[in-house]
Amino acid sequence: MNATLLSGLNPPQLQAVTLPHQSALILAGAGSGKTRVLTTRIAYLISTGAVSPHSILAVTFTNKAAKEMLTRLSAMLPINTRGLWIGTFHGLCNRMLRAHYREANLPQTFQILDSGDQLSAIKRLMKAMNVGDEKYPPRDLQNFISGSKEQGLRAHEVEAYDPYTRRKVEVFAEYDAQCQREGVVDFSELMLRCYELLSRNTALREHYQERFQHILVDEFQDTNRLQYLWLKLLAGKHSSLFAVGDDDQSIYAFRGANVGNMQELTRDFHVEAVIKLEQNYRSHGNILDAANALISNNRDRLGKNLWTSENGGEPLRVYEAPTDVEEASYIVSEIQQLKSEGVHLKEIALLYRSNAQSRVLEHALVSAGLSYRVYGGLRFFERQEIKHALAYLRLMENTDDDNALLRIINFPTRGIGARSIEQLQEAAKMNSTALWDAAARAGGKVSAFVVLIEALRSATRELPLPEILDHVLEHSGLIAHYQNETGAKKREAEERQENLNELINAATLFVHENEDDSLTSFLTHASLEAGEHQAGDQDDALHLMTVHAAKGLEFHAVFITGLEQGLFPHQNSQNVDGGLDEERRLMYVAITRARRRLYLSFAQSRMLHGQVNYGVASSFLRELPDNLLHWLTPRIAQRNAFASGYLTSNPPLTPREVSPLFRGKADSPPLIKGGQKGLAWRTGQTVFHSKFGEGVIVNLEGSGADSRVQVNFRKAGVKWLALEYAKLVAA
């Protein structure tokens, strides 16, 4: 059995899979087969007979990744994977809390708030506490609460040095109390509550430490502080921690990911085995060489160098466009060429640093009749009609769930107005009860709503899960509501009906795949899945996405667009310690998505946030070796192309004013002689004027003594100057 499992592994992979019982860090580069190593390690441990499947805990970040691991294990070993502890951090914490809800001080049927429900709960609380949303934006409070929990901090542990922060801490404390009263937890609470449970309950902690002899962690570079502390608690004296990750792909600091956990792991667990998986099975050599050269500029790396047994392949194509519109036009023409060469559209990805960049690309694709899909739209369980249906189920399961009640008390419309809801909230607050208790004492239309929910509970008590869904959708009025839509909303309503029908399919599949097919378990599944990407149509279509969304994916051809200083790397990175390093890791991720062909493009001018910005090439382009690049346009201002910063017109130019700024073709930029002997000026060149300061040339016209230059000055805005008198100098 072992010989079959281990066949095809390269030497470092084999070393990682067959390590003895010790903690290890597997430094797995992009495309190096880390998932194979992780799952084969689990299969190898079980196949030896010395390790019970019940003594293994494997943690990853997405349900999709966890499911893939289970699928691979099923193919490797003839075992039932249902009992294995393999899942996401939140999923495994939920499993522990369900098993020990009393010790965790939770109701048995506690529900999980997704991000939207959490925000609604915070808004409701702010209104009750008379906290103004202008001074304290609800999303800022949500981030403050979640961020504190991810650091392992309760409200009383957060340091507040000023009245503003103290007020946020007060909201945090009352929010926790509200969730406790209602029997709900948010995602961050799942981790923190489980960590606290293990911290204070010695017997329980020792039980799990004794049970889980082998702890394996995927994407370790993405762990935050609390997740790492949770892992340390679970790892007992006789446990080994097998962590697989890549510090060069740590790009989620904004979510709390701490790349420093990898260094801490080596110290805290006395890791002697740091195994580097450097052979890449995805990309051609030139792409990997470019990625290696770029990332070598980062500080404090653990260090590795990707290589491939394949040839160098094609050089990276670099295109400098006069405007973002022309950049998009160029990309479309290249896509059409790839398509004519037999490359499927689904094998092509357009990556951008900011979502705001997609509009111009989408417009160009629509105009060209090219099918595309924006990766990362609304997920299935986040769609409005799905959340309505789940709210009925949640309230049936737990009548203390105020968020669920507020979502559906008047949907479909049943004549319960805002004033009636306010009166319910006031009554509930006065009596320190859930809204349901106040509703049960109310009369009129509110009373009819209570009767409806009780009737749904009674009628579905003995029904299988899919039939519960079917009954609720029919008798709640949701299906009828969308069926009755007419006019412009009719098509949208039909799609919503299809989604509701798909929810029944989801319940049927859930019953088939899970031993626990209770309504509570299904609702938990829906909450945990809310952040997962649902597969779209199977049509051959381009993929548009941010670089963050591209992590873990790969394509035949990749376009990295908008490579301008201030955009990628993002201007905010200059204000954050380690910000440029993370931006460089993001670029590294973007480069390593490409298997065979990689395009890099940037524009001299770009419309962003309603105004035109005149940019210069990203500093990342300078960090790529010249011998790996093929410039499709002349290097227009090579001597100063890497000057930093955006120059923004003042006042901002409209699109109509921008259109004539770059009249020369991209492959033949305007060029005229300047006032100084032998000096030639080009569009895109950075210049300096004694009165107006630094600027970028955006247009040139005329010749000799009649020549004029249009310059966008950083402080003075756009001005036309006669070259004979301008006395410009190259910056």
User: In Å, how far are 90, 392, 438, 650, 660 from 395, measured between CA atoms?
Assistant: 22, 5, 14, 54, 60
Catalytic residue among 35, 209, 460, 524: 35
Q: What tokens does 37 get?
A: 């190593």
Active site (annotated) includes residue 34 = yes
User: Which position among 593, 595, 597, 606 bears the catalytic label?
Assistant: 593
Which residues have CB under 8 Å from 169's CB, separation 6+? 155, 156, 158, 160
Helical pair 384-397 and 465-475, crossing angle rounded to 10 deg: 110
- Whole-number Å distance between alpha carbons of 332 and 7: 43
Element (H, E) at 6: helix 2-6
Which residue out of 34, 276, 304, 595 is catalytically annotated? Answer: 34
Q: Which of 150, 218, 246, 334 is catalytic?
A: 218
Structural contact between residues 286 and 314, judged by C-beta atoms closer than 8 angstroms: yes
CA distance 397 to 71: 32
**C-alpha dist (Å) from residue 203 to 192, 199, 241, 439:** 19, 10, 21, 42
Residue 219 designated active-site: yes
From the list 117, 176, 219, 246, the catalytic residue is: 219
Identify whether the C-beta of residue 374 lies closer than 8 Å to the C-beta of residue 544.
Answer: yes
Tokens 């088939």 sit at which residue? Answer: 512
Per-residue CA distances from 159 to 137, 147, 697 (Å): 20, 13, 50
d(CA 390, CA 510): 15
67 closest CA partner among 46, 52, 82, 57? 82
List, in order, residues 6 or more apart from 159 with CB less than 8 Å away.
165
Report, in angstroms and rounded to the nearest whole number, the Rg of the chain calculated over CA atoms: 29
Q: Which residues contact 477 (CB under 8 A, 6 or more apart)?
A: 412, 414
The per-residue DSSP string of 474-519 comes to HHSSHHHHHHT--GGGHHHHHHHHHHHHHHHHHHHHHHHH-S---H
Active site residue 35: yes
* 478/469 Cα distance (integer angstroms): 11
The dihedrals phi and psi of 8, each to the nearest 5 degrees, come to: 90, -5
- 535 DSSP assignment: P
385: Cβ contacts below 8 Å, ≥ 6 apart: 478, 482, 496, 499, 500
Say whether 218 is catalytic: yes
Q: Residue 287 gets which letter from DSSP? A: H
Cβ proximity of 727 and 715 under 8 Å:
no
Separation between Cα atoms, residue 378 and residue 683, nearest integer Å: 42
How many contiguous H segments (helices) and E segments (strands) does the chain have?
Answer: 29, 24
Catalytic residue among 13, 223, 249, 546: 249
Residues classed as catalytic? 34-35, 218-219, 249, 593
